[in-house]
Amino acid sequence: MNLHLSGEGADGLAAQRAYLEANNGIRGLEILEPRDVAHAAELFRRDGFVVIAQALDSAQVEFLAKGCQEVADEILALDTDRRGNRGSHRYSFGGSSLTRSQLHRPEWRMLLENALVNEVVTAIFQSPDFVLRAASGDFCLPGAIGYQPLHSDIRDWKDNATTPFSAFHDPRGQLTIRDLPCPYVCANFLPQEVTRLNGPTRQIPGTQNSRHPIPTLEQEPEWMRLSTVCPAPAGAVMIRDVRAWHGGTPNLSDAMRAIPNLEFYAPWFREPTVPGISYDDYRTLSEPAQKRVRHCVLDSSQTLVTGPTLRAP
């Protein structure tokens, strides 16, 4: 059965739901314990992502989930048709923010102080001198019944008109961003359980260094559609190499699925950043967190303007 060819309407959705319940998810997916930091770095380098349980305690999960819902409500008030900005019923927390970030929210600032994530990212980069790119993530609603095309979150630089951000460029044409060590990571936190039905992220293991063209939805084999990071418990974190192929999947549940994130540049890599935190909020952070957000803080003489927007991310 091809998921994208399943019938429309109630019968088609019921069949799709049953099929995903039976088949969705990466076989043998390892969910690591917090003590497995060295193994986490090994799996990250092998697969382009790693999942670690118990990154957040129950109070932090509740706090983060509430914050995600509040931000989502603000965004959805602008989009009554649920067109989304990452496809129907799909939204970027960063792309839906005037600052391209949610760092002005206390829930995302809480994540900056997460000792486990900081330890694992240090092990991945083999240095504690990584810095914050943005505090973002995404969410999908019930009704997101399609698949988001596989994609990568970074590409080689083309021109300033294509994107406000730059990336790696070899004028000789010999190296690409995929030939380098990981330039930046994304840590997605789970404020709810991720199941086979609520829009788990699909990750294609080992593609972070692949130069092969990313397949379109029509070209994508069925095993890739089912290569989803689930089930995974609330409070876990998925840390991924942004170059690895990934994409959204149908949310056939009755609740929103959110995966707020922090994005960190490697010590040797930078792109232009957009200020996402006021100087006053910056001063409330611990010294290590201040060091990591130093490129994202607004000057003390300026006022950070925040709010929702529906521009494309």
pLDDT in tens, 243-255: 999 999 999 999 9
- Contacts of 290 by beta carbon, 8 Å cutoff, 6+ apart: 282, 283
Domain ranges, residue 49: 31-159+168-292
Taking the CB of residue 265, how many other CB atoms lie within 10 A of it? 21
Q: Specify if 40 maps to a domain.
A: yes
Residue 276 and residue 101 in contact, taking contact as beta carbons nearer than 8 Å: yes
Measured CA angle at 40 (ends 165, 126), to 5 deg = 60
* Average confidence score pLDDT of the chain: 95
Interatomic CA distance for residues 13 and 26, integer angstroms: 22
pLDDT at 161: 81
**209 within domain boundaries:** yes
Residue 172 lies in a domain: yes
Per-residue pLDDT averaged across 260-277, rounded?
A: 96
121-133: average pLDDT: 98
- Whether omega before 231 lies within 30 degrees of 0, making that bond cis, reads yes
Residue 166 confidence (pLDDT): 78
Does residue 97 contact residue 309 with C-beta atoms inside 8 Å? yes
The CB-side HSE value for 57 (13 A sphere, CA atoms) comes to 4
Q: Quote the percentage of the chain above a pLDDT of 90.
A: 90
C-alpha 180/C-alpha 81 separation (Å) is: 42
| Domain annotation covers residue 310 | no
Q: Encode pLDDT of 128-155 as tens digits.
A: 999 999 999 999 999 999 999 999 999 9
| Residue 49 φ then ψ, to 5° | -165, 165
pLDDT band at 11 (very low <50, low <70, confident <90, very high): confident
Q: What is the CATH number of the domain that holds 150?
A: 2.60.120.620
Q: Is residue 24 part of a domain?
A: no
Output the six-digit token pair for 77: 């008030």
Count up the domains in the chain and report the number. Answer: 1
With respect to residue 12, please indicate whether it lies within any of the assigned structural domains: no
The two tokens of residue 78 are 């602008």
Query: Does residue 5 surpass a pLDDT of 60?
Result: no
Is 147 a domain residue?
Answer: yes
* pLDDT for residue 181 is more than 50: yes
Quick check: 106 pLDDT over 50?
A: yes
pLDDT of residue 313: 62
Residue 163 scores a pLDDT above 90:
no
Residue 250 lies in a domain: yes
Dist CA 232 CA 109 (whole Å):
23
H/E element, 239: strand 237-241
Residue 173: its pLDDT value, please? 92
